[in-house]
Structure 1
Amino acid sequence: MAHGNRRPPEPRSPDREAVEEFGEPVAVLRDAPPGWFTLLGQQRSDRFLHCLDVNYHGGTELVAIVQTSRPLPEGHRVKPLSTPASELWVFLANAERIPRGIFPEDLAPVRRDVVVRVDGVAVRVDGHGSHGCTSAALPRGTGQVVVTAPDAHWAVAADLVLRRSAGFQA
């Protein structure tokens, strides 16, 4: 069979496909430093994609997580909702920043007036902090964005833009 002028299909990015399925803008860092790379995580409930995590790594170190979530459809019995405290715990555990024997309830005192920028607009929110890291949530429509990072990277990690699938590049 002759292929003629047919071009091979363009390669598809699993990350872009997930963002297209998500259907809403996804929060990413405005300017990740050179050398940082991303891994995209997904959370589903009954096959419904309700949460995307953009995990930023600098070498072997986890340096930030930006989670964008949307609500589950009516009828779902389990209503997962990440909080800054729960995401801080996940970050500290994944980044190996907490000693054994520490539990989530031992962490995350409230930090007032944490600043997060979204598309250039500064928003003051309450966050949680422990072990030199901060996590804060921003309501976004019916979902939310939770950003978590070490305090040393907070200025970069808390400067976000919202991207749709066509412009998605974490």
Structure 2
Amino acid sequence: MFRSSSPRDFHIPTDRETAEEFGRAIAAARNTPPDWFFLLGRQGTDGFLSHLDVRYHQGREFVACVQTSRPLPESFRVRSCTTPESELLNFLGNSDRIDLSSFVFTDLATTRISRDIRLNGLRIPVTVHHAHGCGSALLPQLPGQDGQVIVTAPDEHWGAVADLVLRPPAAF
């Protein structure tokens, strides 16, 4: 006999519930190819939802990620360590572009290139950390709210996710 150890009132939140818990606008690609779909991921510290990932997929392939972060409350002693380099490494491993079983984070040699990201129609020059044909860039400020965005994608899909829009939680 199988018995579940999870509480009976266990609830997996919907994307909309997660977005509403985040409580602010979320960066997402303005237009994606019609065969792409997204999955919403969440990261937090001590029960505080601090990062939302809009992860884009094409079929079974993981093709891009747009992460929106909000600052942790001042009372938290542990701070977030999400960086473009760490998101690039996550993307490379999760999209099977590198073998993480033998990879050491310090082995990630990135070059820095200049590109543009558009946010709500405004062109913003960014520095892209680039390795293995993929890049990751940080937008350190968002208009009208605290937080930041990290965009990560392979070169062939960069154009599709480098045009961002801030969407309200109700859009998810």
Please tell me whether the aligned partners of residues 85 and 108 of structure 1 are also in contact (alpha carbons under 8 angstroms). Answer: no
Q: Using the TM superposition, give the Cα deviation of residue 103 of structure 1 relative to its aligned residue in structure 2, in angstroms.
A: 2.2
105 and 162 in structure 1: CA distance in 2 versus 1, 3 angstrom threshold:
same
Question: What do residues 138-170 of structure 1 show as CA deviations (whole Å, max 9, x unaligned)?
Answer: 01243210010000000001111000112x24x
Q: Give the structure 2 partner of residue 83 of structure 1.
A: 83
Please tell me whether the aligned partners of residues 88 and 108 of structure 1 are also in contact (alpha carbons under 8 angstroms). Answer: no
Q: Give the structure 2 partner of residue 9 of structure 1.
A: none
Task: Give me the whole-angstrom Cα distance separating, in 1, the residues matched to 2:91 and 2:130.
Answer: 11
Q: Give the structure 2 partner of residue 57 of structure 1.
A: 57
Specify the structure having the higher radius of gyration (Cα).
Answer: 1
Say whether residues 1:134 and 2:119 are aligned partners: no
Gaps of 5+ in 2: 1-12
Q: Give the structure 1 partner of residue 162 of structure 2.
A: 158
Report matched runs for 1:1-170 at 5 Å. 14-99=14-99, 100-141=101-142, 142-166=146-170, 168-169=171-172
Task: Give me the whole-angstrom Cα distance separating, in 1, the residues matched to 2:153 and 2:64.
Answer: 4
Question: What do residues 97-144 of structure 1 show as CA deviations (whole Å, max 9, x unaligned)?
Answer: 013533222224242322111111111111201111000010124321
Q: Using the TM superposition, give the Cα deviation of residue 81 of structure 1 relative to its aligned residue in structure 2, in angstroms.
A: 3.0
Q: Using the TM superposition, give the Cα deviation of residue 75 of structure 1 relative to its aligned residue in structure 2, in angstroms.
A: 1.2
Letter in 1 for 2:127: D
Task: Give me the whole-angstrom Cα distance separating, in 2, the residues matched to 1:17 and 1:108.
Answer: 38
User: RMSD of aligned C-alpha atoms?
Assistant: 1.4
Aligned residues between the structures: 156
Task: Give me the whole-angstrom Cα distance separating, in 2, the residues matched to 1:89 and 1:55.
Answer: 15
Task: Give me the whole-angstrom Cα distance separating, in 2, the residues matched to 1:117 and 1:111.
Answer: 19
TM-score by length of 1: 0.87
Task: Give me the whole-angstrom Cα distance separating, in 2, the residues matched to 1:105 and 1:124.
Answer: 27
Letter in 2 for 1:150: P
Task: Give me the whole-angstrom Cα distance separating, in 2, the residues matched to 1:117 and 1:103.
Answer: 33
State the identity %.
53
Gaps of 5+ in 1: 1-12
